[in-house]
Chains A and B, each alone.
Chain A
Amino acid sequence: MASSSLLISLASCLLFLAVSPALASNSEGEALCAFKSRLSDPNNVLQSWDQSLVNPCTWFHITCDSQNRVIRLDLGNSNITGTLGPELGRLQHLQYLELYRNSFMGKIPEELGNLKNLVSMDLYENQLEGEIPKSLSKLKSLRFMRLNNNKLTGSIPRELVTLSNLKVLDFSNNDLCGTIPVDGPFSTFPPESFENNKRLNGPELLGLASYDFGC
């Protein structure tokens, strides 16, 4: 009796797993359409984004892997205005997020921290504001993080020192404050990565109680 019910639940779980990739692809399309709905797109670069399709892999500016999961989103320099919504965090296999040189406004959603496969986050040259989310420290695969030329405020989250794969970081031309971490990958970043942040106070002083004044 118990074993048969166990068998049934196992079978339904397996069935769900079998179906879920299809569901996942569809949910990636839904996520991208939700993303699109927040945007104004005068150059019609998103004209090919048709939600009636079973997955977004035939949409332009999207690249998928062999299992129809989105790995690249390339919308740099596309004259797009709008905000970034939490749905971007649902693109679980995303490796390249290229949204540079547009007019994205509002905050960087903390859900971007869920993109555990992300290699490159290029949000530079927009009008993003608010703080850099601490959740970005979960992006263990991240190698390139360029958030320069925005209106970001607040301090640089200390948690980012755990991103051991980070090779290139650019936070310049923002309104960040506090001190710059020196641990982990931060020891390799040149000072140009942080320049033109008027309220940034320079490298943190180790051994002393760390405090971010005026921040």
Chain B
Amino acid sequence: MPSSPILFFLLFLCFFCTQLSCTKTEVQALLAWRSSLKDPGRLTQMWTSNNISTDPCQWDGIKCNEAGSIISLSISGCQIDGTLDKFNFSSFPNLTELWMDHNENLHGGIPKEIGTLHNLQYLHLSSNNLVGEIPVTISNLSNLEDLDLSFNQLTGAIPSAILNMSSLHYLYLGNNNLTGQIPKTIGNLINLEELHLSANYIKGAIPREIEHLTNLTLLSLYENELSGQIPLEIGNMTELRIADLRYNKLQGNIPATIAQLPNLSFLYLGNNQLNGTVTPYLGNNSYLEGIDLSNNNFVGTLPPLLCRRGELQYLQAANNSFILLPITLKNCSSLTELDLHENNIRADVSQTLGEHPNLSLIDLSKNRFYGRLPSNLGGNILSLSLEGNEISGDIPKELANSTSLAILNLSNNNFSSLPLIQAPALESLHASNNKFTGEFPLLQQNWTNLVTLDIGKNNFYGKIPSWIGSSFPVLKILRLGSNQFEGYIPPQLSMLNNLRLLDFSNNNLKGPIPHVLSHMHSMVIKTMTNESYITYFVSNTNEEESIDFMWKGVEATYQETIALLTGIDFSCNALSGEIPEDLMKLQGLISLNLSRNQLSGMIPNNIGNLTSLEVLDLSMNILSGTIPPSISHLTSLDTLSLSHNKLTGQIPSGPQLQTFNMSDFSDNVGLCGFPLPNNCLTHNNSIVPLVENEAGYKKIEVIWIICSVILGYVIGFWVYFGALYWKISLRFAIFQFTDKMQDKMMKWCGRYFH
């Protein structure tokens, strides 16, 4: 009994000493690890002291408790290069927080010794370059609340012991290379609030045990290989606010129980293999803000209660087989984005788009909408796509004059009247294949943002205005084809320095091809662009431009490679004059179609300059002369048509030229040589075609002979009888002569026969 206070004192001293030596070993461990790194980065200046004693508690990123032992280590974004192999985890018994994220050169594996940090509550190792499997020993960390290993290269399956840690509140394992299945032990994570397993390669079904996750607000499983059905137990996750299951292989129906969740705000199920109808009660119980059902096989009607609580902003249901819309959609004034493209929806568009003052992105394309556009389409509209429906009537003035409108796609409908458009923010205007009529539809102004203008396949008439050159500084695509435009091609077109695709085909244009078109800067240079697509940054979505284009005999939609297309199509007009030699400066051209015009003269000698050319169509003109030999330099040419012209001489030989057929040169009377069957004949140093049908050649001779003989007869006849007729004395002399001869003959005959 008298020894107990001494013992107590000794114990206390010992404890105090171990605390001190704890601090000492902590410093040693930190410095030992730092010296093991290939590059300590910012740690060199963070972990330094001014005074002699190395007290780590003064260092940057380090917090200590009252006893001077390290409780928090922050090594975020320190540009270190090395591994965790020499990190002595067991030297830090009091550590509660370890932040070692955003070091892109922190590689190697997570050592299993990490499981010795018994007091650890927050472990953040995200955004590094860590590999290997998640060590099972992490499950020993019985106080761990936050575990963030996302954005690394971790592999293997998630250990089921880890998904058994009931202490966890936040579990982030997303953006790794994890495989295997989600363990059933997940049901034990009763305190879990957020679960991120997205962007991995996790397979199998979502376990039904998730029903026990009654504190979970965020379930993020997108971009994995999850299959099977969404368990109906999901309806028991009463705190669930965000469910993101996009980009998996989930099948079957959406369980009806999902409609009972009282806190569900965001339901993202896009890009799966889900089918069936969507429960009509969805939205009844909670304040839905965002729905994504896109790219599945849903059928039937869009659920009517989605907007019941007036909070729905984002409705994405594209690429399904929905056929009907609920009437309630018209009154959903909270909507900002509505995307229903590529369904089978049959509805009156004026009943769909109603009071939507905040609606900025609308895509109803490729459905069966009909009727007329309402005039109150909202003043905040950024992007409106109605392509491929049966909508008719006018374009409301409010839309045509909208100051926010950037993307307008009305193609493939039955619209009939387009007012003069004056929407200054317009970047893309597609109005092709409608019944529009009238003159060129845009007002002259500075269209600083317009990149695409496609009004082809309508009934527009009148002249192409000359101000077109100076009003579209960034225009890349100009398509006026298949209309009734007339007059001349304005030479001011040459000022369009960004123009890549120019289509005036199938109109009534006349006159020459302006030679100044050779100044179109964007067609002069060969395509050297990093991005092969054209994007418009509208709201937060990157909308990509696309056009339908007929090329090499095949009609296709170009989107991903649209920025690489460089071509001119003036075919099917009444253009005359020669093909300007200057046009051959457009070395970026991939496609040149001048067919079906009345172009005359020779094909320019320097056609070989167009080295990028893949398609050349000059057929059905009245081009004459020989085919320039430089055409053999076009080694990318795979489609050539020179037929139906008046070309002569030998077809040049060349590596691509020898891959073409007779039909590409047919109906040119004077043309000869491969691939035509007739050979050329050298005649007095000039090559003259020897027609295989030699009778034809002789035919000409025969005709001449006959003509001269007949002429001879006629002249002879008229000289003789004409002379007799006009000269009496001559007539008399000849008749007398004939009489005398006759007498002589009679006397001679009489002597002989008597």
Residue numbers of A with Cβ under 8 A of B are 44-45, 47-48, 50, 52-53, 57-61, 63-64, 66, 68, 72, 74, 76-78, 96, 98, 100-101, 120, 122, 144, 168
A sample of 10 more A-B contacts (CB under 8 A), given A78-B636, A98-B656, is: A47-B527, A47-B561, A58-B556, A63-B552, A74-B656, A76-B656, A78-B635, A96-B659, A122-B659, A168-B658
Known: A68-B554, A98-B656. A61 touches B561 (CB 8 A): no
Q: Which residue of A lies closest to B614 (CB)?
A: A60
Q: How far is the CB of B162 from chain A (nearest CB, A)?
A: 35
B655 interface residue per 8 A CB criterion: yes
Interface residues of B in 662-683 (CB under 8 A from A): none
B258 interface residue per 8 A CB criterion: no
Are B655 and A101 in contact (CB-based, < 8 A)? Answer: yes
Residue numbers of B with Cβ under 8 A of A are 527-528, 532, 551-554, 556-558, 560-561, 564, 590, 614, 635-639, 655-656, 658-659
Bound-state CA distance A59–B560 (Å) is: 10
Are A66 and B656 in contact (CB-based, < 8 A)? Answer: no
Are B590 and A60 in contact (CB-based, < 8 A)? Answer: yes
Are A74 and B636 in contact (CB-based, < 8 A)? Answer: yes
Instruction: Please indicate the chain B residues that have their CB under 8 angstroms from the CB of A77 in the complex.
Output: 635-636, 655
Q: Which residue of A lies closest to B560 (CB)?
A: A50
Bound-state CA distance A132–B636 (Å) is: 26
Bound-state CA distance A64–B656 (Å) is: 17
Q: Which residue of A lies closest to B639 (CB)?
A: A63
Sorted nearest first, the 3 A-B pairs with minimum C-beta distance are: A77-B635, A74-B638, A48-B561
Q: How far is the CB of B512 from chain A (nearest CB, A)?
A: 30
Contact of B614 among A44, A58, A74 (CB under 8 A): A74
Instruction: Please indicate the chain B residues that have their CB under 8 angstroms from the CB of A60 in the complex.
Output: 561, 564, 590, 614
Bound-state CA distance A144–B637 (Å) is: 18
Q: How far is the CB of B544 from chain A (nearest CB, A)?
A: 12
Known: A50-B561, A76-B635. A64 touches B552 (CB 8 A): yes
Instruction: Please indicate the chain B residues that have their CB under 8 angstroms from the CB of A98 in the complex.
Output: 638, 655-656, 659
Bound-state CA distance A101–B637 (Å) is: 15
Q: How far is the CB of A92 from chain B (nearest CB, A)?
A: 18
Instruction: Please indicate the chain B residues that have their CB under 8 angstroms from the CB of A100 in the complex.
Output: 655
Are A66 and B658 in contact (CB-based, < 8 A)? Answer: no
Instruction: Please indicate the chain B residues that have their CB under 8 angstroms from the CB of A44 in the complex.
Output: 528
Instruction: Please indicate the chain A residues that have their CB under 8 angstroms from the CB of B658 in the complex.
Output: 120, 144, 168
Instruction: Please indicate the chain B residues that have their CB under 8 angstroms from the CB of A120 in the complex.
Output: 658-659
Are A122 and B561 in contact (CB-based, < 8 A)? Answer: no
Contact of B532 among A45, A48, A74 (CB under 8 A): A48
Are A64 and B554 in contact (CB-based, < 8 A)? Answer: yes
Known: A53-B560, A58-B558, A63-B552. A122 touches B655 (CB 8 A): yes
With most chain A CB atoms within 10 A of its CB, the pick from B558, B564, B590, B635 is B635
Contact of B564 among A47, A52, A72 (CB under 8 A): A47
Bound-state CA distance A15–B225 (Å) is: 26
Q: How far is the CB of B561 from chain A (nearest CB, A)?
A: 4
Bound-state CA distance A98–B697 (Å) is: 40
With most chain A CB atoms within 10 A of its CB, the pick from B557, B638, B639 is B638
Are A57 and B655 in contact (CB-based, < 8 A)? Answer: no
- 5 pairs, CB–CB < 8 Å, chain A vs chain B: A47-B527, A61-B614, A74-B638, A76-B636, A78-B635
Instruction: Please indicate the chain A residues that have their CB under 8 angstroms from the CB of B637 in the complex.
Output: 74
With most chain B CB atoms within 10 A of its CB, the pick from A64, A98, A101 is A98
Instruction: Please indicate the chain B residues that have their CB under 8 angstroms from the CB of A72 in the complex.
Output: 638, 659
Instruction: Please indicate the chain A residues that have their CB under 8 angstroms from the CB of B638 in the complex.
Output: 61, 63, 72, 74, 96, 98
Bound-state CA distance A78–B614 (Å) is: 13
Are A59 and B554 in contact (CB-based, < 8 A)? Answer: no
Are A57 and B614 in contact (CB-based, < 8 A)? Answer: no
Are A59 and B561 in contact (CB-based, < 8 A)? Answer: yes
Are A61 and B636 in contact (CB-based, < 8 A)? Answer: yes
Contact of A58 among B561, B639, B656 (CB under 8 A): B561
Q: How far is the CB of A187 from chain B (nearest CB, A)?
A: 20
Q: How far is the CB of B631 from chain A (nearest CB, A)?
A: 14
Q: How far is the CB of B438 from chain A (nearest CB, A)?
A: 33
With most chain B CB atoms within 10 A of its CB, the pick from A60, A68, A78, A144 is A60
Bound-state CA distance A64–B564 (Å) is: 19
Q: How far is the CB of A155 from chain B (nearest CB, A)?
A: 27
Q: Which residue of B lies closest to A48 (CB)?
A: B561
Q: How far is the CB of B441 from chain A (nearest CB, A)?
A: 29
Are A66 and B553 in contact (CB-based, < 8 A)? Answer: yes
Instruction: Please indicate the chain A residues that have their CB under 8 angstroms from the CB of B590 in the complex.
Output: 60
Instruction: Please indicate the chain A residues that have their CB under 8 angstroms from the CB of B635 in the complex.
Output: 76-78, 101
Bound-state CA distance A74–B590 (Å) is: 13
Bound-state CA distance A115–B33 (Å) is: 62
Bound-state CA distance A68–B554 (Å) is: 8
Instruction: Please indicate the chain A residues that have their CB under 8 angstroms from the CB of B656 in the complex.
Output: 74, 76, 98
Q: Which residue of B lies closest to A50 (CB)?
A: B560
Instruction: Please indicate the chain A residues that have their CB under 8 angstroms from the CB of B556 in the complex.
Output: 57-58
With most chain A CB atoms within 10 A of its CB, the pick from B532, B554, B557, B639 is B554
Q: How far is the CB of B349 from chain A (nearest CB, A)?
A: 29
Instruction: Please indicate the chain B residues that have their CB under 8 angstroms from the CB of A168 in the complex.
Output: 658
Bound-state CA distance A44–B637 (Å) is: 17
Q: Which residue of A lies closest to B552 (CB)?
A: A63
Instruction: Please indicate the chain B residues that have their CB under 8 angstroms from the CB of A63 in the complex.
Output: 552, 638-639
Q: Which residue of A lies closest to B611 (CB)?
A: A77
Q: Which residue of A lies closest to B527 (CB)?
A: A47
Q: Which residue of B lies closest to A64 (CB)?
A: B554
Are B554 and A48 in contact (CB-based, < 8 A)? Answer: no
Instruction: Please indicate the chain A residues that have their CB under 8 angstroms from the CB of B614 in the complex.
Output: 60-61, 74
Instruction: Please indicate the chain B residues that have their CB under 8 angstroms from the CB of A53 in the complex.
Output: 560
Known: A61-B636, A64-B552. A76 touches B561 (CB 8 A): no
